Structure 1
Amino acid sequence: MPRKLGIIAGGGTLPARLVRACRDAGRPVFVLALKDHCDAAALGSDVDQAWIRMGEAGTGIRLLHEAGVSDLVMAGGVDRPTIAGLRPDWRTARFFARLGFKALGDDSLLSAVTRELEAEGFCIVGVHDVLPDLSPETGILGRHTPDESARADIARAVEVVRALGALDVGQGAVVQQGIVLGVEAVEGTDRLLARCRALARPGPGGVLVKLCKPGQETRVDLPTVGPDTISNAAAAGLRGVAVHAGRSLLVDREATIAAADAAGLFLLAIDPEVAA
């Protein structure tokens, strides 16, 4: 019998897609859904599930063991809470006390969470291990292609994102005509694009680049782009979006590519070693 997959579910459609993939493969699945993040309607009520607050690590680990989970994947968006808002249980508080200043960076925190779950006996897998078709190959993914000025902006954005990533800050940047309009931090990509909409300059529009951080734990928190990203990029006046080939996720791949085509935006998967 296939190993049972546990899904720690945040927002968006990814958790439900993982559930469907497990069902199609005849694989048993259990969802540990995060309150105030996971979309109950998208997830549905016909899947084995339990709900916890983010600060209830002790309860969550117990529920995963009781459900017989062997493999574990983290999927879906999560807004990073404050410690006060987290209301940690004893297990969570002990974890943060041990982690200390390393909890300041997203990747440091997620890597520590991964190690903690592995110490509990779970095998951590990536979304792309369950849904390999979500990870784009190098090249143009739609009908539109970047011109030379857009490629220059992509190269500049790659430099910026790699510098940010080395400091464990963010995964994205918007560059227009060589000028950095915005970088992604705790607010996330959608709010970055909303800020850049007011900062756009006359002339050819900018580009959004999203990359993995150097040394990032690729089983969790891969750069993710979906139809909403394309819509927000178009509203910000951008000409296109470039993502990390083989190390990012296109949620609803066909719909994302179709949205880019309809909006007149290029969608490109790049090797940052070549694009920089």
Structure 2
Amino acid sequence: MTGTGRARTVVVTGGTDGIGRALAEGLLERGDRAVVVGRSAHKGRLFLERAARPGAGGRAFFVQADLGLLAENRRVTAGLLRDFPVIDALVLCARHYRSDRAETAEGIEETFAHFYLSRHLLGHGLAPALLRAERPVVVNVAGPGAGLDLVHWDDMEFRHGYHGGAALGQGGKLNDLLGVSSTERYGGAGLRYVLIHPGATRTSISGQYDEPTLRHIEEMQRTAKPITEALAPIVAALDSPPPRPLSAFVEGRELDVHSADFDRAAARRLHEHTEEFLKGR
């Protein structure tokens, strides 16, 4: 990565592993501030130790949090707004696969909480700081473009018929709709929202896997692209946000965000459902 001429403040969730970590370290190399949010205190310390090299002092930050918990997302949001009144970019990378259904300590299905609700809370919660930036952008690394049939409107927490792949697929679709609703709220104020699926990448994938799924992941890793290739579209979105309020890319191929897969009515329905779900929690 090459420098852009001005130090930016970039928040990266899932920034202690894989694509998120490589991105954060690259941001530091080019002179930006990298604020990493992750679950592991140990990995956070390692990130800060690697960042403690000449020239990077004071630009690396780590926030420990379990983003599967609503309370933690709210704590993180409040702390970031306090410490960084201007945030140039938010990169949402945190993801965790579960072959078996599990609930968080707050009683919410983990994939729904971690992969979708966290991104909803952080994206909307940090909007005031993002909108103070010159060219604010949210990069949501999910899996755009699938059909709306992946959404289980009456059972988003998969209380019946849970499957890890189905829960993850639904999460990707919910993030598509999150991009649509976020654009409706903040696009007119200058925020750019970019949905990116970099493709299968040779990196650690956080999760709990049964044996068949683990074998499938290991097989995919043999032909997956290196992290450097997966980073390219994310870096491009940060350096030169697309002119359109909402964009979506799968392995460099741009999708039509005006298609039925990015339905505005479905996005509004999801936003209303989410806000109702979060009330009193």
TM range (shorter): 0.3 to 0.5
Q: Which protein has the larger Cα radius of gyration, Structure 1 or Structure 2?
A: 1
TM-score for the superposition, normalised by structure 1: 0.43
